[in-house]
Structure 1
């Protein structure tokens, strides 16, 4: 069976190391110094409210009040509540991207691909569990979920590592990567940890086992 077409337009089938991508939409032009300061102040206020009250109680009005600006300013900067939440996740996600693209092994380059896959999934599980409410609240609607910037970067990285394991010619890299990515879905992690009470160690062991089975590696 031949390899399927690239999963995203403009991406080569070689699944080279992905480049850093931000969650939030890029600005049309670089922000002025005062605009950048205002954005940082809004995000600081939002982060403080999340820490004090939780994600569910975060509102655009509340952020405006905490930052002592008009509500319209918050809407102009972030668009809507989802845009604000995505901006809050931006720093965490970009730090994670930097770590798995250019950080130290085994998460970054320098380790065998299977070890990097193990490290990637385990770190993604930890990050999501630590900030689960924020990840769930910022989840794009279903029609955009698999085209969002963070998903695309993670997906391409998993594809690249799978290809480096030298799978058989009949292996559908894209579909295997989608299966692995499904394991890291925030809604599933929330269900397993909160509704089922599964400890992090069990989820991480399950990830390593799924990776090994997917690439034909011996069990840990």
Structure 2
């Protein structure tokens, strides 16, 4: 088999696995209930292929998350307003948090799976530290939040956690717009409180 054919097969298998995992997470009551065996069978690949490609279940979840979140990361790193770097921090902070919240509402099953993956601290996970770093940098550019930027970034990110989103939309039966309005009000109060320091 040619190297080109092997690469094409590997790419096709990777996409099949990601699609199968995404569909199974969406249909499951809890992402933890989906096994690697089920994902491999749904994707039409061997379990060995799954482990070679992604390492373990957490690696698979992270790969799926990264594929989905990449457009948002690109918008934050180099995109236009309101998320891009040319936007003033006081406008960019609420825009970033709203975009993260909308992403988690649109990808509830995946976001829950990512937050539940692994046994270490969620605050040490790569996806969390990147968002925290971005947000902290923005908050440091606002004079009133410069000295509390690290803690304030953690506090604001807590309001976008997938388990909270799931609780608000599921148990509390809030609409997505109500959740977004609640977050916007919270951000305004946090930044407003800092502005009065």
Band the TM-score falls in, shorter-chain normalisation: 0.7 to 0.9
Provide the aligned C-alpha RMSD in A.
Answer: 2.4
1:155 aligned to 132, 142, 155, which one? Answer: 132
Aligned residue-pair number: 185
SS at match of 1:122: helix
Deviations 1:29-63 (A, max 9, x none): xxx72544432332233334445x44746432223
1:75 Cα shift?
Answer: 1.9
Separation in 2, partners of 1:48, 1:128: 16
1:96 Cα shift?
Answer: 1.3
Gaps spanning 5+ residues in structure 2: where? Answer: 1-5
Q: In the alignment, which residue of structure 1 is the partner of 2:121?
A: 144
Q: In the alignment, which residue of structure 1 is the partner of 2:142?
A: 165
Q: In the alignment, which residue of structure 2 is the partner of 1:131?
A: 107
Summarize the Cα distance change of 1:47–1:189 in structure 2 as closer, same or farther, 3 Å threshold.
closer
Q: In the alignment, which residue of structure 1 is the partner of 2:73?
A: 97
Is the contact between residue 121 and residue 204 of structure 1 (CA under 8 Å) also seen in structure 2? no
2:18 aligned to 36, 43, 49, which one? Answer: 43
1:77 matched to 2:50? The reply is no
1:199 Cα shift?
Answer: 1.9
Gaps spanning 5+ residues in structure 1: where? Answer: 1-31
Summarize the Cα distance change of 1:209–1:48 in structure 2 as closer, same or farther, 3 Å threshold.
closer
Separation in 1, partners of 2:36, 2:82: 40
**Relative contact order (C-alpha < 8 Å, sep 6+): which is higher?**
1
